[in-house]
Structure 1
């Protein structure tokens, strides 16, 4: 099966600590890298995980809080030092270009490549990026500033040809692509050979959803329903529910409730508050509702 992995660069929340890096992730889809958020130190973590800078072409910023975007300028500068020539696309709130373009003009005036800002509307669920085998959608979240998550969805793959059957029915080569797309085969005498007799179903498509930062927000459930892997912030324990509501973050229990309602296959929780020395308390709380929960661990790869 083609590569589709989640690489965790940083799992911390707003307050810097020596234990956690600020939020950042990389989705590796068929050796093409897509970064989600870019907190300070993201480029150092890329090196530690031996992810190739040259494979990174798109960066998605969930919102413009510093712990999610202060690493962007350093990464852009480093890519210039590495003589990058291919364009880099930053998908973010329209204000992102207003914030970063003056800094680029001042610090990176002679970049050998283009930085393109693609404005997105965080309040909408819509298609942001479409490539040959992948689609990326926004997921409206509820935070103190306009914020969205991201849904990475593998496109359906073609059906598998059953060679002995196509040989038996003497299917011409010109019809093979139609069979892969699900069409029946019609012989010259008008006989219809059902597609199921000639092909096998393709492997199920895979989906990954990223939801950080957000208060408990049940409206996202239909968008993320059935995903193979869900990352959902779990900044606080349920006993700090009032603090979570005030700062518009989620508790571990609330993250688990979202995963349960959406019937996802696996939940990864992260964006941890610096107040917790033992993260297992967050994990155990989430697992009371959704047993298929794991902690986000920095420098770890999670297959999707």
Structure 2
């Protein structure tokens, strides 16, 4: 099966600690690396995780709080030092161009590639990137500033051919592509062989949803329904629910409630507040509601 993995580079909140780096992760789809957020220390964590800088495809920035984008300038500078020549595309809410461009003009004016920033509307869910392997769609989130999460979904796969049937009906190679896409086969004497006899159902497409930073919002449920893995911020415990509401964040209990309502297969908690020295308190809170929950951690590589 082709690769679909999530590497956690940082899962802390605004204040860096000796436990966690600020937010960043990489989604690896068939060796194409898609970065989600880029807090301080991201490029060092890429080294620790042995991720290849040359395979970095695109960067997606959820919102313009520093713990999600302060690492961009250093990463871009390093990409130039490593010899990148292809343009780098960054998808972001509006405002990043005005913030980042002056820094690039000063520190990276001789870069051998261009940084192209494409903005999206964080209010509406929309497809912002698509290729033959994956589609990326925004997830409107509730935070103190415009913010969106991202849904990575493999493109629909073709049906599997039943080799014995293909051989039995002596089907020409030129017909196989159409059969994979659902066509029946017509023999030389005009008999129709139904597609269901020639194929097995395609392998289900895998999906990953990233939701950070956000207050509790059931509006995201139809978008993330049934995903294989949901990363949902759990900045606070339920004991600090009032603080979560004030700052536009979620508790671990609320993250678990969203996972349960959305029928996701697995929940990963992240964006931990620096006030908790042991994140297991968050894990325990979530597992009461949604047992298949894990904690994010730097260096974790989750395979879908």
TM range (shorter): over 0.9
Q: Contact between 2:20 and 2:297, CA under 8 Å: does it hold in 1?
A: no
Counterparts of 1:242-257 in structure 2, within 5 Å, are 242-257=242-257
Distance 2:112 2:126 in 1: 32
Q: Contact between 1:207 and 1:229, CA under 8 Å: does it hold in 2?
A: yes
Counterparts of 1:123-142 in structure 2, within 5 Å, are 123-142=123-142
Distance 2:164 2:242 in 1: 64
Q: Contact between 1:57 and 1:87, CA under 8 Å: does it hold in 2?
A: no
Distance 2:255 2:302 in 1: 18
User: Matched residue pairs, number?
Assistant: 304
Shift of residue 301 of structure 1?
A: 0.2
Distance 1:190 1:210 in 2: 51
Distance 2:25 2:201 in 1: 32
Q: Determine the structure 2 residue equivalent to 1:70.
A: 70
Moved more, 215-224 or 192-201: 192-201
Q: Which secondary structure state, in structure 2, belongs to the residue aligned with residue 265 of structure 1? A: coil
Runs of at least 4 residues off by over 3 Å:
none
Shift of residue 175 of structure 1?
A: 0.9
Distance 1:24 1:108 in 2: 22
1:279 aligned onto 2:271:
no
Shift of residue 171 of structure 1?
A: 1.5
Q: Determine the structure 2 residue equivalent to 1:188.
A: 188
Shift of residue 192 of structure 1?
A: 1.3
- TM-score using structure 1 length: 0.99
Q: Which secondary structure state, in structure 2, belongs to the residue aligned with residue 183 of structure 1? A: coil
Counterparts of 1:72-151 in structure 2, within 5 Å, are 72-151=72-151
Distance 1:153 1:219 in 2: 19
Q: Determine the structure 1 residue equivalent to 2:206.
A: 206
1:154 aligned onto 2:154:
yes
Q: Determine the structure 2 residue equivalent to 1:235.
A: 235
1:25-80: per-residue Cα shift (whole Å, max 9, x none)? 00011111000000000000000000000000200000000000000000000101
Q: Contact between 1:185 and 1:194, CA under 8 Å: does it hold in 2?
A: yes
Distance 1:150 1:190 in 2: 49
Shift of residue 187 of structure 1?
A: 2.1
Shift of residue 14 of structure 1?
A: 0.7
Q: Contact between 1:122 and 1:140, CA under 8 Å: does it hold in 2?
A: yes
1:226-268: per-residue Cα shift (whole Å, max 9, x none)? 0000000000000111000000000000000000000000000
Structure 2: which 5+ runs fail to align? Answer: none
Shift of residue 183 of structure 1?
A: 1.2
Q: Determine the structure 1 residue equivalent to 2:35.
A: 35
- TM-score using structure 2 length: 0.99
RMSD: 0.8
Distance 1:290 1:169 in 2: 49
Q: Which secondary structure state, in structure 1, belongs to the residue aligned with residue 45 of structure 2? A: helix
